[in-house]
Structure 1
């Protein structure tokens, strides 16, 4: 019986310490200093010759585009537009097609900011901007399948 009480007390102590540690971690991550665009670019270029440990510290990932909108215009950015704190390209992103928050259907893909079905669209047959020749039709993503 004493062993059971000791085990229960020990597990309660561990749970309390773990909860306090996670709160401390959140407070530290919220108080990160904001970096200017030049500091971020300098940090990215200076990491090229760095070791594996230093390269894992991705300063751009910690900065969001709602705080620094120009971060989306950097060379290795996924896109020039800022949607929901992420850099995206609204011309090709299925979840932000044409504008932030507009999702394409499951079978559709985003081409030039419009949702199209590449299985049956003559102008985007099998992928974006793959046009079928005049008189041909698109079936299952291939021009003149039959």
Structure 2
């Protein structure tokens, strides 16, 4: 008997939650109800199937080569680009230091590296030095 009361209370609560609290519909709702046909829910066995798990690159390496992928290489079940990724610079698991960035698969300090001054592939002219990320600062 107690279970019946609990079921009734839950059913009433759900019915109240689904009702529209406003007594009169707005003008937009009236226009939509006249133009659009009522929504009919169709269910099928195909739609009721559980979704498959995400395809990870350790099982499907070609996932990383799809357009829109973060990179063509697979490291720890994630697609990355080892030529620019600080956590996987040059190969999986090689981390760059805090002050370094990954350029062409090598960890470099952009504040002092002559070939990557201030950023990747930003080389200084002959005879100038890279200081504080700028060529010929002094």
Alignment match, 1:93: 85
For residues 93-142 of structure 1, give each alpha carbon's deviation from its aligned partner in whole angstroms, at most 9, with x where no partner exists: 00000000000000000000000000000000000000000000000100
Alignment match, 2:103: 111
Alignment match, 1:126: 118
What stretches of structure 1 of length at least 5 have no aligned partner? 1-30, 35-61
Q: How many residue pairs were aligned? A: 89
* In 2, Cα distance between equivalents of 1:63 and 1:80: 15
- What is the TM-score normalised by the length of structure 1? 0.59
Q: Secondary structure at the match of 2:115?
A: helix
What stretches of structure 2 of length at least 5 have no aligned partner? 1-49
For residues 28-75 of structure 1, give each alpha carbon's deviation from its aligned partner in whole angstroms, at most 9, with x where no partner exists: xxx8536xxxxxxxxxxxxxxxxxxxxxxxxxxx32111211000001
- What is the TM-score normalised by the length of structure 2? 0.62
Q: Which has the higher helix share?
A: 1
